[in-house]
Amino acid sequence: MPNSLPPVDRVAVVVGGGELGRATAVKLASQGMTVVAVDRSTSELELLPKGIVRELADATDPVAVAPMIEHIVQNVGVPDVLVNTLGAFEIADAMTTTPDQFRLMIDVNLAPALWLSQAVAPYMQTKGSGAIVHIASRPGLEPTAGLAAYAVSKAGLVHLTRVLDLELRPLGIRVNAVAPQLIDTARNQALLPKEALSHAVAPEAIAEVVAFLASDAAAPVSGAILPAYGA
């Protein structure tokens, strides 16, 4: 009887090296995936545990995204999973939002989701399967006063997720999003009053939801925006 080849690990690309990105990378790695973490900051990547592949790249730069995904394909393998945790947050109402604030929200919260999906989908199509998960937000589903540019960018991400689902699901690629209300990160702790954080959800809890959407258990789920609003 011929020797069988060892199984090839599933490859997951996690974009964004902040607290949610790290928690997601660790969670997927614990499930036996080969995880590539992408961030533009070396210091963020250095916080990752051993065993997670590090890729230094700026996924907000549309010119950099396709070469970054190609580099991962050539050096690690075709991604089975893409998780986009990139996000920026600005507090400003509609009357005071500046052009720079609006552009920042679009350039970080919305546009990279499209560039990353465009870059990874052709490779996933060669496998006939794949899972893409973006991080949306409750203000993207329910209008929230005082967060005009942020809410609009996340609403665009919600709609883009649903459009991508319609276009990529026939190729075997599932596209979903998780919509937290507030994540309990160090930045949010410094930015917001303590009472505002009473229902904040830990990054590890969001990572659990992402891992479910990336798993075979979620095979029937595509085009969903899963709320993760906390207790």
Q: Which of these, 33, 34, 40, lies nearest to 55 by C-alpha position?
A: 40
Residues contacting residue 67 through CB under 8 Å, at least 6 positions apart: none
Active site residue: 89, 115, 123, 150, which one? Answer: 150
pLDDT at 27: 98
Q: Percentage of residues in the chain with pLDDT exceeding 70? A: 94
pLDDT at 189: 67
When pLDDT is averaged across residues 90-105 and rounded to a whole number, the result is: 96
When pLDDT is averaged across residues 46-73 and rounded to a whole number, the result is: 97
> Exposed (0-12), middle (13-18) or buried (19+): which is 154, by Cβ within 10 Å?
buried
- Name the pLDDT band for 193 (thresholds 50, 70, 90): confident
Residues across the chain? 231
pLDDT at 187: 74
How is the chain split into domains, by residue range?
Answer: 11-87+107-138+165-228
pLDDT surpassing 70 at residue 25: yes
150 is known as an active-site residue: yes
Q: The whole model's pTM is what? A: 0.93
Q: What pairing do the DSSP bridges indicate for beta strands 81-84 and 34-39?
A: unpaired
When pLDDT is averaged across residues 16-38 and rounded to a whole number, the result is: 96
Contact 140, 157 (CB under 8 A): yes
What is the fold, at CATH topology level, of the domain defined by 11-87+107-138+165-228? Answer: Rossmann fold (3.40.50)
